[in-house]
């Protein structure tokens, strides 16, 4: 029996996850009908999107406030399109501030529409009280990490499904390769605000490296942000770089990089699956940082550090996120390649705790049941 599924994502990583789920469901039932809020990845599957996620790609409290009316219009439009589409299931991925507002409205209008959400709100990091109310608008919560179940058991139906990036159909653990690597990966993120925050830091870092090193700097991006990044780099007088937008190209350069420096987020898992040593950075506006910091309960920002309960992957947060600090740590990895090999071995131990080989099967079953 065919089903109608409305999918909502709010950023590039969720868009990528949703595209994997769409492809899996289509293999199970090719008559499934989809409609979505998505980006390049979902569009590549042939699914129609009512608008592109780049129209809602805002980061931090201040950025959201500035664009509040635009976001509200997109929420109301999405609700309208869902009701018109009349799906069997609304499947949302991450982006809780956007997705949850839509789900609340949908449940008030038509409580019979099943709602499934992938990527639990990080109640273990901050705002734990959220776990007590999400069952009002989410029927089934899908967890990426096994330790999350203890936070949601008794409050909402939940299933540990693992991270779809590590499903056996898209990922296999391979033997660590050691060779003479000449690439260096830098990941600024996909939002305009992230690019404008991190690219200037990366430019200063590249210039420091270019004095005594000969690396080609790789910047993974998406199609509609490639020109912005390219312009910023060219204006700075930097030419030893390559920008990739295709998955196979991104994976090639990451795998062959001596080190990656990445903004905190899902992209770090992409780096880890390619067994590349990593430094994680995080920086937001001072107002955003001061608003968020009092509520954060975890010692670390990166999930693999949280699982290991120690800093396997160096983290440079807010005021510590400078070109000088990145350069100092990077030089340690460049001068001692064994340091990177040891880091990879250690974070792979944490990574194995979130790998579920049939993750996409589990997610698809939860949506279709």
Residues 44, 16: contact at Cβ < 8 Å? no
In the sheet that holds 4-9, the strands lie side by side as 49-52, 33-38, 4-9, 89-93, 114-118, 140-143, 158-160
Tell whether 158 and 259 lie within a shared domain. no
How far apart, in whole angstroms, are the C-alpha atoms of residue 82 and residue 5? 9
The range of the structural domain enclosing residue 69 comes to 4-167+356-368
- Residue 160 in 3-state DSSP? strand
pLDDT per position as a tens digit, 122-156: 876 666 778 888 999 999 999 998 888 998 999 99
Tell me: do 149 and 239 sit in the same domain. Answer: no
Q: Tell me the CA distances in angstroms from 358 to 58, 162, 171, one per residue in order.
A: 33, 9, 11
Q: Is 55 left (phi over 0), alpha (psi -120 to 50) or beta?
A: alpha
Question: Under a CB-based contact definition with an 8 Å cutoff, are residues 188 and 217 in contact?
Answer: no
Percent helix, percent strand, percent coil in the chain, to nearest 5: 50, 15, 30
- Mean pLDDT of all residues in 65-94: 91
Q: Is there a single domain that holds both residue 222 and residue 343?
A: yes
Residue 173 located in a structural domain: no
- Both 26 and 110 in a single domain? yes
Structural domains of the chain, count: 2
pLDDT at 254: 94
| Same domain, yes or no: 158 and 262 | no
- Note whether 104 and 227 are same-domain residues: no
Does a structural domain hold residue 123? yes
Candidates 218, 214, 213; CA nearest to 188 is: 218
Q: Is residue 162 part of a domain?
A: yes
Residue 194 sits in the same domain as residue 331: yes
pLDDT digits 0-9 by tens, 286-330: 777 776 676 666 788 888 998 888 999 999 999 999 999 999 999
CA distance 118 to 75: 19
Alpha-carbon gap, residue 342 to 344, rounded angstroms = 5
Would you tell me how many other CB atoms lie within 10 Å of the CB of residue 326? 24
pTM of the entire predicted model: 0.82
Q: How far apart are the C-alpha atoms of 228 and 233, rounded to whole Å?
A: 9
Of 295, 369, 362, which is closest to residue 118 (Cα–Cα)?
Answer: 362
Same domain, 112 and 197: no
pLDDT per residue over 223-269, tens digit each?
889 999 999 999 999 999 999 999 889 999 999 999 999 998 888 98
DSSP state of 177: P
Same domain, 253 and 221: yes
In a domain, 235, yes or no: yes
Assigned domain for 178 exists: no
Note whether 80 and 159 are same-domain residues.
Answer: yes
State in Å, rounded, how far the first CA of the chain is from the last one. Answer: 11
Residue 20 located in a structural domain: yes
Spatial contact of 47 and 38, defined as CB atoms under 8 Å apart: yes
Residues 45 and 153 in one domain: yes
Beta bridge partners, 185, equal 218, 260
Q: What is the CATH number of the domain that holds 199?
A: 3.40.50.2000
Whether 283 and 326 map to the same domain: the answer is yes
Q: What is the pLDDT of residues 16-47, one digit of tens each?
A: 999 999 999 999 999 999 999 999 999 999 99
């Amino acid at each position: 029996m065919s089903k109608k599924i409305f999918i909502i994502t709010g950023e590039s990583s969720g868009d990528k996850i949703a595209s994997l789920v769409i492809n899996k469901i289509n293999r199970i039932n090719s008559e499934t009908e989809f409609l979505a809020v998505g980006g390049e990845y979902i569009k590549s599957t042939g699914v129609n999107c009512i608008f592109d996620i780049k129209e809602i790609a805002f980061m931090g409290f201040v950025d959201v406030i500035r664009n509040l009316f635009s976001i509200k219009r997109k929420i109301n439009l999405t609700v309208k399109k869902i009701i018109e589409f009349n799906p069997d299931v609304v499947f949302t991925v991450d982006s809780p501030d956007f997705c949850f507002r839509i789900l609340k409205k949908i449940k008030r209008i038509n409580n019979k529409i099943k709602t499934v959400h992938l990527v639990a709100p990080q109640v273990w990091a901050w705002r734990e009280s959220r776990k007590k109310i999400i069952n009002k608008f989410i029927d089934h919560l899908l967890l990426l990490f096994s330790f999350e179940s203890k936070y949601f058991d008794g409050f909402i139906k939940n299933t540990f499904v693992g991270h779809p990036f590590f499903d056996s159909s898209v990922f296999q653990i391979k033997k660590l390769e050691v060779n003479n690597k000449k690439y260096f990966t830098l990941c600024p993120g996909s939002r305009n605000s992230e690019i404008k925050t991190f690219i200037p830091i990366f430019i200063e870092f590249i210039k420091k490296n270019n004095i005594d090193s000969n690396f080609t700097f790789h910047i993974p991006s998406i199609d509609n942000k490639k020109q912005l990044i390219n312009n910023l780099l060219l204006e700075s007088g930097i030419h030893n770089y390559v920008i990739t937008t295709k998955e196979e190209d991104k994976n090639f350069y990451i795998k062959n990089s001596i080190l990656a420096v990445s903004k905190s987020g899902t992209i770090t898992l992409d780096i880890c699956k390619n067994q590349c040593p990593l430094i994680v950075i995080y920086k937001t506006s001072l107002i955003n940082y001061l608003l968020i910091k009092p509520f954060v309960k975890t010692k670390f920002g990166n999930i693999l550090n949280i699982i290991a309960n120690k800093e396997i992957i160096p983290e440079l947060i807010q005021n510590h996120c400078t070109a000088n600090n990145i350069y100092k740590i990077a030089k340690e990895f460049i001068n001692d390649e064994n340091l990177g090999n040891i880091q990879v071995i250690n974070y792979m131990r944490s990574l194995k705790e979130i790998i579920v080989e049939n993750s996409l099967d589990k997610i698809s079953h939860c949506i279709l049941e």
